[in-house]
Amino acid sequence: MKVIATSKLTKFFGKTRALNGVDLEVKQGEVFGYIGPNGAGKTTTIRILLGILQANEGQAQLLGQDAWQDAVGIHRQVAYVPGEVNLWPDLTGGEVIDLFVKLRGTNNSSRREEMIERFDLDPSKKCGTYSKGNRQKVALVAAFSSDADLYILDEPSAGLDPLMEKEFHECVGEVKQQGKTVFLSSHILSEVEKLCDKVSIIRQGEIIESGSLKDLRHLTRTEMLIETRKPVHGLEDFKGVHNVQQKDLEYSFQVDSEELGRVIQHLGQFEVIKLESAPPKLEDIFMRYYRGSGAEE
């Protein structure tokens, strides 16, 4: 079952086009990573999914209902952590958590105490005195102590220390175990790599790549280091080989994943005595996409 389905979402702010034909599909039980550089349109997408902004064109459906029309009904099954958590300075963290749980309509706060403990939050402090990370924790506690079907998280670990980040990862793992769906926008690549089943990359309002992590790895290059007895020739001209560097009979270069087999075959003629390869890193994918022409900032 599709938990989130959008087609051709387009959003203008005045003349600037923040989203341009965004198609997303998230299935039940998936942890879906949504990544892209600053200003790419992640938060805008999430706000459309939540019915806070209205798309100029295109459809967005959550849990089979229209994101704009049926917002209130949908939200009873959604837990949301905003990218920038702004709270009322005069209220305490505990009050805000209770209020948030109440506002969702379903009165299930059985896990509240457990979550407060896990995230090491002092609920008696006024929100005005909380650090950024602590405000983030308030939103996380409220989200994970409620019993939702879909968790929408906008850069949720920004501002968390490593210990809390780990706790957060465990929370995501737990809800995934229960078959819940998670939509996670993030900048932290290791986090996405660790948590997500599928990712979409957005840049300048357009989805430029979507698929499982495995699929994406195919798009990248493997780092190779070889040493041969005979000098290698023809490597530079080989299709899919990049950045060849030579030091005596040691060569280092990168190979497009789909060309790997043919390159290895070619190298066989030169009596390889050492071959090291580093697996493609997700980071490389991002760098390649983020640095695409005209990227913002």
Partner 1 sequence: MRRGLFNKAGVNARLIFRRDRWRLLFWILGIFLLTVVVAFAYTELVPTQHERMVMAETMRNPAVTAMFGPGFGLDDYNYGAIMGHQMLLFTALIVAIMFILMVARHTPGDEENGRIELIRSLPVGRLSNLSATILVCSGACLVLTLLIGLGLYATGIEGLDLEGSLYYGLVLGATGFFFTAATALMAQLAESSRGTMGFSFGLLGFSYLIRAIGDVGTEALSWLSPLGWVIRSEVYVNNYFWPIGLTLGGGLLLVGLAFYLHTLRDLEAGFIPTRSGRKTASPFLQGPLGLGLRLQRTTIIAWIVGLFVLGASYGSVLGDLETYLESMELIQVMLIDVEGFSLTEQFLPMLMSVIAIIATIPVLLLTLKIRGEEDKNRTEHFLARAVSRSRVMGSFLLLAIVVMIGVLLFGVFGLYSAGAAVMEEPISLNTMLKSLLVYAPAVLAMIGLGVLIIGFAPRRTGLAWLYLGYSFFVVYLGEMLQLPDWMARLSPFGHIPRYPLEEIVFSTLIIITLIAGGLMALGFWGYNRRDIYG
Ligand X SMILES: Nc1ncnc2c1ncn2[C@@H]1O[C@H](COP(=O)(O)OP(=O)(O)OP(=O)(O)O)[C@@H](O)[C@H]1O
Site for Mg ion in 72-111 (CB under 5 A): 83
Instruction: Kindly state the smallest distance separating residue 216's Cβ from ligand X, in Å.
Output: 19
The CA-based diameter of the chain, rounded to the nearest angstrom, is 74
User: 238 to each of 218, 263, 268, how far by Cα in Å?
Assistant: 18, 8, 14
Tokens of 72: 């209130």
Instruction: Kindly state the smallest distance separating residue 40's Cβ from Mg ion, in Å.
Output: 8
Among 21, 29, 123, 211, interactor with partner 1 by CB under 8 A: 123
Instruction: Kindly state the smallest distance separating residue 206's Cβ from ligand X, in Å.
Output: 12
The Cα–Cα gap between 122 and 21 comes to 43
Handedness of CA 194, 197, 201, 205 (dihedral sign): negative
Instruction: Kindly state the smallest distance separating residue 43's Cβ from ligand X, in Å.
Output: 3
The Cα–Cα gap between 272 and 228 comes to 4
Q: Which lies closer to ligand X via its Cβ, residue 205 or residue 280?
A: 205
Q: Is residue 126 close enough to count as binding partner 1 by CB under 8 A?
A: yes
For residue 167, give every residue at least 6 positions away whose Cβ sits within 8 Å of its Cβ, in sequence order, or none. 118, 119
Site string for partner 1, 208-227 (x = CB under 8 A): --------------------
Site string for partner 1, 72-91 (x = CB under 8 A): xx-xx-x-x-x-x-xxxxxx
Q: Which lies closer to ligand X via its Cβ, residue 35 or residue 140?
A: 35
The interface partner of residue 38, options being partner 1, ligand X, Mg ion, none and the CB cut-off 5 to 8 Å by kind, is: ligand X
- Taking contact as CB under 6 A, which single stretch among the options 33-41, 98-106, 166-174, 259-267 is the one that binds ligand X? 33-41
Site for ligand X in 76-115 (CB under 6 A): 83
Which pairs with CB-CB distance under 8 Å and at least 24 residues apart come from 245-251? Answer: 250/225, 250/226, 250/274, 251/224, 251/225, 251/226, 251/227
Q: By CB under 6 A, how many residues form the interface with ligand X?
A: 12
The β-bridge partners of 34 are 185, 200
Site for Mg ion in 1-60 (CB under 5 A): 43
Site string for partner 1, 148-167 (x = CB under 8 A): ----x---------------
Among 58, 94, 133, 159, interactor with partner 1 by CB under 8 A: 94
The Cα–Cα gap between 186 and 153 comes to 8
The β-bridge partners of 253 are 224
Site for ligand X in 36-65 (CB under 6 A): 36, 38-44
Residues that bind partner 1 (CB under 8 A): 47, 50-54, 71-73, 75-76, 78, 80, 82, 84, 86-92, 94-100, 102-105, 123-126, 128-129, 152
Residues that bind Mg ion (CB under 5 A): 43, 83
Residues that bind ligand X (CB under 6 A): 13, 16, 18, 36, 38-44, 83
